[in-house]
A and B are shown apart, each in its own frame.
Chain A
Amino acid sequence: QQPVQSPQAVILREGEDAVINCSSSKALYSVHWYRQKHGEAPVFLMILLKGGEQKGHEKISASFNEKKQQSSLYLTASQLSYSGTYFCGTEIGGTSYGKLTFGQGTILTVHP
């Protein structure tokens, strides 16, 4: 079943923060976050494994709450380059051959 992302869209000014959530009704093994700019391929951001691990990449970090089966992506001090559509991809079970089920996406727009 497809994970649910929220919000569907968010508009920011440069320097503002945002949180994007990804929720699943199934027990997850991992959550993958990607960013896609219009007309381009998805670009990998980070992987979260079950265990509540939090990862960071410059001003973008993420967490995975195993009890809630929810992952959150945190974008701090947003830059114009952060604009795009953010997708979470969820993997169920460590033997699922890396198959991901993607959410519907969250459109992030950063204005000067």
Chain B
Amino acid sequence: NAGVTQTPKFRILKIGQSMTLQCTQDMNHNYMYWYRQDPGMGLKLIYYSVGAGITDKGEVPNGYNVSRSTTEDFPLRLELAAPSQTSVYFCASKGAGNQPQHFGDGTRLSIL
């Protein structure tokens, strides 16, 4: 099992560019999450999904969009990249009930 896979691992964007961070899981988990982690800080929830076709905002959703067309995939889109979005982005998934979240390896994004 691959678990949670994120691509790309690293990316540099220019201000105003857009991009999609990919996240896929092979554990048939309904729940998926996107977090950002700024240097020396904890993780902050951007968006989450409880199943295909259902998404909702987390704590810091501004500047981001998500979609969930399948159980496996939960892409995160940045429309107009800003320097404040420089961060490490983690995707996570979990099964039903009191289960732990499983994290991908992260995408390190720099916006210059």
Contacts and interface: CB of A to CB of B under 8 A. Distances in A.
Given A97-B31, A97-B48, A104 B42 contact: yes
Interface stretch (B15-23, B66-74, B94-102): B94-102
Given A41-B90, A98-B94, A87 B43 contact: yes
A27 interface: no
Interface residues of B, number: 25
A47 B100 contact: yes
A25 B90 CA distance: 26
Given A42-B43, A47-B98, A101 B106 contact: no
Interface in A1-52: 2, 30, 32, 40-44, 47, 49
B42 A102 contact: yes
Contact of B45 (A41, A49, A100, A105): A100
By size class, the interface of chain A is 20 to 34
Given A2-B42, A98-B31, A44 B48 contact: no
A3 to B, nearest CB: 9
Interface of A: 2, 30, 32, 40-44, 47, 49, 87, 89, 97-105
Contacts of B105: 40-41
Interface string B100-112: 1111111000000
A46 B2 CA distance: 21
A100 B101 contact: yes
Given A30-B98, A40-B105, A102 B50 contact: no
Given A41-B103, A47-B100, A102-B44, 11 more contacts: A44-B100, A44-B101, A87-B42, A97-B50, A98-B48, A100-B33, A100-B43, A101-B59, A103-B42, A104-B41, A104-B42
Contacts of B75: none
Interface string B37-51: 000111111001010
Contacts of B40: 105
- Ranked nearest first, the 4 interchain pairs of A and B with the lowest CB-CB distance are A102-B42, A44-B100, A41-B103, A102-B43
